[in-house]
Chains A and B, each alone.
Chain A
Amino acid sequence: MGTAIVVTSGKGGVGKTTSTANIGTALALLGKSVCLLDADIGLRNLDVVLGLENRIIYDIIDVISKDCKLEQALIRDKRFEHLTLLPAAQTKDKSILSPETVKELVGALKELHDFVIIDCPAGIELGFQMAVSGADRAIVVTTPETPAVRDADRVIGLLEKEGIRNPHLVVNRIRPQMVKRGEMLDIDEIVQVLAIDLLGIVPDDETIIKNANKGEPTVMKPDSKASLAYRNIARRILGESVPLLSFEEAPGFWGKMKKVFGAK
C-alpha cells in the first residue's frame, strides 16, 4: 500500500505541475514506483512536461467510467519503468468525477505503487476537493510573493479541514540575488507565517523552462541547482534528513583575488 501525496498551492502558476513532475521523477530515480495523477481536469499539461503527450490513449475519465481498465490507461514513462502517468481528460464530460470516485481511484493506484503524486488544479473549488479527497499527505507549493503566500495559507486551512494535518511546504522560484538584496520575501518569514514544515526550497532556474518545453523533467540532469533541490525534496519525503541548499555563488576568479587581498 503506497502513499498518496497531493501537490497544491491555491494560486496558479507557482509551479505545481513542474514540482509534481520533478518530485515524482526524483522518487523514481531513488527506486520507488510512482504514479503521477493529473487531476487538473480540462487543462492537461503534466503529460507535456513529462514528454508523454503522444502516448495518451485513455485518461482518468475512461478509467472512472470503466471504459478501460486502470492498467490500460497508465502510461509508462519512457525513461523509468516504474514511473507511470494517469493523464487528465481534456474534452470529455467530467460530471462523472466526484470526490468519492477520485478517492476510490487513488486507493486503487496506491495498491499498485509506492507513491501516488496528485497534481492539483489551481483554485479551491470542486477540482481542488477532488484532488485532495484521496490524499494522505500534501505538499503546498508557494513562491516568495505575498499573493502566493496568502493563497497557500488559505489552502493549508482547507487541507486541515479535509483532515490532512501536516502539509509540507516547498518554496519555489527563489532568486538568491533578490533575497540577498532584501527585495524578496525571506524564507524564514514565509515559514513563520504559514507555520508548517519546510520540505525544500527551489531556486528560480531557466533550465526548468527549457526542460519543460523539451518534455524532460529537470531532475534528470543533475547539473542544475533546481535539479539538486528536487532530488533533495524526494530524499526528505523518504525520511532522510538533508540540509537545505545554500545558494551562495561560488566565488569567481576576481572574488578569490579579493579574498586574498582582504578587500570586501
Chain B
Amino acid sequence: MLDSERLATDSKPNILLKGTKEGLLLLLNEVVSFESLLEDLSTLIHGEKKSLFEGPDLKISVDYGERVFAASEIREILDCLAKRENLILREWGPSTAAKLSLFNSSRKFGPQTLLKGTVRAGQRPVFEGDVVVIGDVNPGAEIVASGDIYVLGRLRGIAHAGFLGDWSAIIAAAEFAPMQLRIADIVSRAPERDGKPLRTFMEFAYLKEDSMAVDKLDSLHAWTAMARQSS
C-alpha cells in the first residue's frame, strides 16, 4: 500500500499501466527521479499488484517518453523486469507502437453534438464533428456533419457524413431507410423499395473502396478495427 505522504505529494502514479491488444504497456513518468521510479516499478511487479503479472508468458512494452537514461539505469530496470521470468519485453523506447496505438484508438474528431428533436423537411442542419440525433430525420430533410452521423430514430431523409472529405465517417441509424446517403464526396441512392416493408434493424453506412456499403450495426466494431489498421 502507498503511504499517505507520497500520495499527497504525487497524485499521479509514476508508472501507468495500460492493457493493449499486444499485452501490457508500461508508461514511465518522464520527470520523477530515477530512484523513485525504480522503487515504484519494483513495487508494481513484486508488490501488492503482482498478480497482474503472474501466469503464462506476458508481453510487455515499456515506454519512457522524453526521459534520458544512463546505461546503468537501463540495466537496473531490465534486471527488475527480468526477475519475473514470464515477462517478455516486446518494445522499449521513447514512442513505442503500443503507445501510439493507444492514442489512435480515439478518433481525433472535433466536437460531438447531441440534437434533440425531429429534423423536418426543408431543414438542413450542419455540424462540425459527430452528431447524434435523438429523434427522426424526416423525408425531405438533410443532416450534414464533418464527422459521423448517428440517428436514434428513423433516418428517412438525406444524411451527409464527413462532408469536409473524411472518408472514414459513417452513418448509423436505428431505423435505416434513407432517401440518399453521402459520405465525403460519394453519393448513394436508396434502393427502390416498391412496397417492401421498411428494414427495421440497426444499420450503418461506410465507404469501401470508393463506393458505399451498408452493414448491420453489429459489424461496426469489426469495421472500425479494420479501418484503423489500414489507415
Q: Tell yes or no: A163 within 8 A of B by CB.
A: no
* CB proximity of B135 to chain A, nearest CB, Å: 8
Whether a CB of chain B sits under 8 angstroms from the CB of A250 is no
Check: A193 CB closer than 8 A to any chain B CB.
yes
Contact of A154 among B135, B136, B140, B156 (CB under 8 A): B140
Q: Write out the residue numbers on chain B whose beta carbons fall within 8 Å of the beta carbon of A153.
A: 120-122, 138-141
- Complex contacts, B86 vs chain A, CB 8 Å: none
Question: Which chain A residues lie closer than 8 Å to B138 at the CB level?
Answer: 153, 193
A42 within 8 A of B: no
Q: Residue A195 contacts which of B121, B123, B136 (CB distance < 8 angstroms)?
A: B136
Name A195's closest neighbour in chain B (CB-CB): B118
Which of B122, B139, B141 has the most chain A CB atoms inside 10 A of its CB? B122
Which of A150, A157, A195 is packed against the most chain B CB atoms within 10 Å?
A: A157
**CB-contacts of B118-170 with A (<8 A):** 118, 120-123, 135-136, 138-141, 156
Is there contact, CB below 8 Å, between A154 and B122? yes
CA gap between A153 and B119 in the complex, in Å:
9
A9 to B216, CA, bound (A): 38
Shortest Cβ distance from B157 into chain A, in angstroms?
Answer: 10
Question: Is A53 interfacial (CB-CB < 8 Å)?
Answer: no
Chain A residues near B141: list those with CB within 8 A: 153
Q: Whole-angstrom distance between the alpha carbons of A195 and B153 in the complex?
A: 12
A156 within 8 A of B: yes
Residues B136 and A157 in contact, CB atoms below 8 Å apart: no
When C-beta atoms are compared, the residue in chain A nearest to B157 turns out to be A153
In the complex, the number of residue pairs spanning A and B with C-beta atoms less than 8 Å apart equals 28
Query: Does B136 lie within 8 Å of A150, measured CB to CB?
Result: no
Interface size class of B (residues with CB under 8 A): 10 to 19
Contacts of B136 in A (CB 8 A): 193, 195
Is A151 an interface position by the 8 A CB rule?
Answer: yes
Please report the C-alpha to C-alpha distance between residue A193 and residue B139 in the assembled complex, in whole angstroms.
Answer: 9
Write out the residue numbers on chain B whose beta carbons fall within 8 Å of the beta carbon of A151: 121
Contacts of B122 in A (CB 8 A): 153-154, 157-158
The CA-CA distance from A150 to B140 in the complex, in Å, is: 7
Residues 144 to 174 of chain A near chain B (Cβ within 8 Å): 150-151, 153-154, 156-158
Q: Does the CB pair A154–B118 fall under 8 Å?
A: no
Bound together, the chains give a CA A241 to CA B77 distance in angstroms of 79
Determine the residue in chain B with the shortest Cβ distance to A182: B195
Q: Which residues of A contact B135 (CB under 8 A)?
A: 195
**Smallest CB–CB gap between B18 and chain A, Å?**
45
In angstroms, Cα B121 to Cα A153, docked, is 6
Most chain B CB within 10 A, of A151, A158, A195, is at A195
List residues of chain B with CB within 8 A of the CB of A150.
Answer: 121, 139-140
As a 0/1 sequence over residues 119 to 156 of chain A, the CB contacts with chain B under 8 angstroms (1 = contact) are: 00000000000000000000000000000001101101
> Complex Cα distance A233/B178, Å?
34
Which of chain A's residues have a CB closer than 8 A to the CB of B123? 157
Query: Which chain B residue has the least Cβ–Cβ distance from A193?
Result: B138
Ranked nearest first, the 7 interchain pairs of A and B with the lowest CB-CB distance are: A157-B120, A153-B121, A154-B122, A154-B121, A153-B120, A195-B118, A150-B140
Q: List 20 A-B contacts (CB under 8 A).
A: A150-B121, A150-B140, A151-B121, A153-B122, A153-B138, A153-B139, A153-B141, A154-B140, A156-B120, A157-B120, A157-B121, A157-B122, A157-B123, A158-B122, A193-B136, A193-B138, A193-B139, A195-B118, A195-B135, A195-B136
For the A-B complex with A156-B120, A195-B135 known, give 9 more contacts whose Cβ atoms are closer than 8 Å.
A150-B139, A151-B121, A153-B139, A154-B120, A157-B120, A158-B122, A193-B136, A193-B138, A193-B139
